[in-house]
Chains A and B, each alone.
Chain A
Amino acid sequence: MSTSADTIEQLATREYQYGFETEVEAETFPPGLDEDVIRRLSAKKQEPEWMLEFRLKAYRAWLKMTEPTWHNLKIEPVDFQAISYYSAPKKRPELKSLDEVDPEVLRTFEKLGIPLEEQKLLAGVAVDAVFDSVSVATTFREKLAELGIIFCSMSDAIREHPDLVRRYLGSVVPYTDNFYAALNSAVFSDGSFVYVPKGVRCPMELSTYFRINARNTGQFERTLIVADEGATVSYLEGCTAPMRDENQLHAAVVELVALDGSTIKYSTIQNWYPGDSEGRGGIYNFVTKRGKAMANAKITWTQVETGSAITWKYPSCILQGDNSVGEFYSVAVTNNYQQADTGTKMIHLGKNTRSTIVSKGISAGHGQNTYRGAVTIGRNAQNARNYSQCDSMLIGNRCGAHTFPYLEIKNTSATVEHEASTSKIGEEQIFYCQQRGISTEDAVNMIVSGFCKEVFRELPMEFAVEAQKLLSISLEGSVG
């Protein structure tokens, strides 16, 4: 009897779809890191003195730090001297429109399915595309400018809005925070900056697509989003990277500042190259993401993590103001030899602060998926409430799911609820679907998306569709 295993086998051999490399003449620093490299980097970017100082302080702090080892990951040691810390497309004129962008770059985005031209027309999504380390295209800026919204590359922001950047950069993630954050603070290349003024509701989803390109260039993005009092903004981040044999380091820092009564929604689809089916290559993704919510403010992190060989990432919320709200919705998929150690920290400091954590981990192949979450209720956080739900799904029996919830309560008025479950995608469930005429592939997709439903519905519409697609690509060939 021919079984569905055959089909699955065929699907499994399909390779990472976004594995290609664009040839753009790049100016790249030779590998290595010291104070001189940082000075040159800062000079290249025409940064003010205070920025250089920030970088150097971070670098000196980093030298004294060691890589964290508390995670549940097996990591090949990273040689930080083998990384090149600056790479820019050579042709970099001041661009007024997309027509002026290097056609090769534009073609890359098209291959990725991100036609800027089309996106301009569709859905009203403003796209700030970071190609390698330097921004090459920004659209919709004018429309946003009318409302006083700033949406630009971090490099531009440092030059054009130094007061804002200086005030908030490092205010949520200080450079002393952790090893990777310190490194990022020292050498960050570029990223996005968003400022939404008082009482303004940003009329469109803001989105950025990142892409690692030049070989051996670690990418260190730095993103800062500030929502002033009563402002509202939704930011989308999505990425994909070319096929690569060596491991590539990716250590981003994202800071969110939600001032009184504001709302920030930050959604991510992460699809860095995960390595091949043997576990070779793939991106190391060590990210520090954190938001600070002042009184009556709300921060929502939603992430769909399907890529990277190793993911180390804990988007967190400091609920500083009274009545502030933090939310974390996550889907993390590990297939083949991928490893993920991800989760969140909800730090309740203000009164009546509320947080919700919904984490869905899916492991297939030899994938290892760890949820690590911490809920801290401070001494003064009267009537704080947290609800955590942590579900794991296993596909096959060579993968693993691990859950580490930490809880620290210093105020007895807190209400904390935690639910956890682990399920195996059942042969019987798949057979049930097949018996009704549904193919194995569709059955797996259906079962998995049912499992992730609570997270997907938090994503903006156009992202939800993409996320679902990505999930099915990531899990192709995982049942058999």
Chain B
Amino acid sequence: MLLEIKDLRVKAEDKEILKGLDLTVNAGEVHAVMGPNGSGKSTLARVLAGSPGYEVTGGSITYDGKDLLELDPEVRACEGVFMAFQYPIEIAGINNTYFLRTALNSVRKHRGEPELDAVEFMQLVREKAALLEMDQAMLNRSVNEGFSGGEKKRNEIFQMAVLEPKLAILDETDSGLDIDALKIVANGVNSLRSPERSIIVVTHYQRLLNYIVPDFVHVLSGGRIVRSGGRELALELEEKGYGWIEAEMAGARG
């Protein structure tokens, strides 16, 4: 088991967002998390990554045998947790490639591996850039600065491809991508699928799941996973929306 979330409760600015969330992810699995706007999907992703601004008020997260909540965000990253941001931020004046090299070498240092020299690194970058059909110009621009919405998302997966995490959480990576880009990015993600690597895909659309086929689909609503199933659950959601699940839950409660 790579990740085990138990009864997770999270608050932000006095508002309870996650209210007892359970989720278990084994190595090599792909899980899709769906759910209405504001249900807490990004909150889950960001809490896993160690974002400031959230208070964990209860529950536990075990990652790779460790108490994830005890680790600083950069340590989590070095230990193989990667989050593709729903809204990647711009950093002016810092070359995209330089940024990535700093990140990779920091991760390698943590793992006790030697730093890559410029030549080795550029080789890796070229290979991964080809995989995601990244434009050379984008590599030389400042981190995300002036990137279009879709370019930012593609850049996130490019970073993931270079950093090779153990657990990747992709927060709505598909939104903003055009049809062709969606295929390219999905291919990129699929090529990273491996028995050791787990992926959590947060999405609103079944279409992405045609390309990145999940092992499990979960519905997050009201701060909890209210339903889990196979990929057919995504199809059902596409057809019926979330109302019926919420109605069922209300029924169950009432």
Taking a contact as CB atoms under 8 Å apart, the answer to whether A437 and B103 are in contact is yes
Interface residue range, chain A: 20 to 34
Taking a contact as CB atoms under 8 Å apart, the answer to whether A436 and B163 are in contact is yes
Taking a contact as CB atoms under 8 Å apart, the answer to whether A453 and B93 are in contact is yes
Within 8 A of A (CB), among B85-127: 85, 88-89, 91-94, 99-100, 102-104, 106-107, 110
Taking a contact as CB atoms under 8 Å apart, the answer to whether A434 and B102 are in contact is no
Of B56, B91, B93, B107, the contact of A437 (CB 8 Å cutoff) = B107
Q: Interface majority SS on A: helix, strand, loop or mixed?
A: helix
Taking a contact as CB atoms under 8 Å apart, the answer to whether A434 and B77 are in contact is yes
State whether the Cβ of B74 lies closer than 8 Å to any Cβ in chain A: yes
State whether the Cβ of B34 lies closer than 8 Å to any Cβ in chain A: no
Of all chain A residues, the one with the shortest Cβ separation from B84 is A435
Taking a contact as CB atoms under 8 Å apart, the answer to whether A3 and B89 are in contact is no
Taking a contact as CB atoms under 8 Å apart, the answer to whether A449 and B89 are in contact is no
> Contacts A436-B163, A446-B94 hold; do A3 and B72 have CB atoms under 8 A apart?
yes
CA distance A429 to B88 in the complex (A): 9
Taking a contact as CB atoms under 8 Å apart, the answer to whether B52 and A427 are in contact is yes
Taking a contact as CB atoms under 8 Å apart, the answer to whether B163 and A446 are in contact is no
CA distance A447 to B99 in the complex (A): 10
A454 CB, nearest partner CB in chain B, Å: 8
Of B56, B85, B92, B102, the contact of A451 (CB 8 Å cutoff) = B92
Of A7, A435, A450, the contact of B142 (CB 8 Å cutoff) = A450
CA distance A440 to B102 in the complex (A): 13
Complex interface: chain B residues within 8 A of A2 (CB)? 70-72
Q: How many residues of B contact A (CB 8 A)?
A: 35
Complex interface: chain B residues within 8 A of A428 (CB)? 89
State whether the Cβ of B53 lies closer than 8 Å to any Cβ in chain A: yes
State whether the Cβ of A383 lies closer than 8 Å to any Cβ in chain B: no
CA distance A429 to B93 in the complex (A): 13
Complex interface: chain B residues within 8 A of A118 (CB)? none
Of all chain A residues, the one with the shortest Cβ separation from B105 is A437
Give a binary string over B65-76; 1 marks a CB under 8 Å from any A CB, 0 the rest.
000011111101
Complex interface: chain B residues within 8 A of A442 (CB)? 102, 106
Complex interface: chain B residues within 8 A of A436 (CB)? 77, 99-100, 103, 106, 159, 163
Taking a contact as CB atoms under 8 Å apart, the answer to whether A438 and B70 are in contact is no
Of A427, A432, A446, A451, the contact of B53 (CB 8 Å cutoff) = A427
> Contacts A431-B73, A436-B77 hold; do A1 and B56 have CB atoms under 8 A apart?
yes
Taking a contact as CB atoms under 8 Å apart, the answer to whether A432 and B52 are in contact is no
Complex interface: chain B residues within 8 A of A432 (CB)? 85, 88-89, 91
Of all chain A residues, the one with the shortest Cβ separation from B98 is A446
Of all chain B residues, the one with the shortest Cβ separation from A453 is B93
Complex interface: chain B residues within 8 A of A447 (CB)? 91, 94
Complex interface: chain B residues within 8 A of A449 (CB)? 93-94
- A residues adjacent to B (C-beta < 8 A): 1-4, 7, 426-429, 431-440, 442, 446-447, 449-454
Give me the 6 closest cross-chain CB pairs, A-B, nearest first. Answer: A450-B93, A436-B103, A434-B73, A437-B77, A450-B94, A453-B93
Given contacts A442-B102, A450-B94, 13 further A-B contacts (CB under 8 A): A1-B50, A4-B73, A432-B88, A433-B99, A433-B103, A434-B50, A435-B82, A439-B74, A446-B99, A449-B94, A450-B91, A453-B93, A454-B93
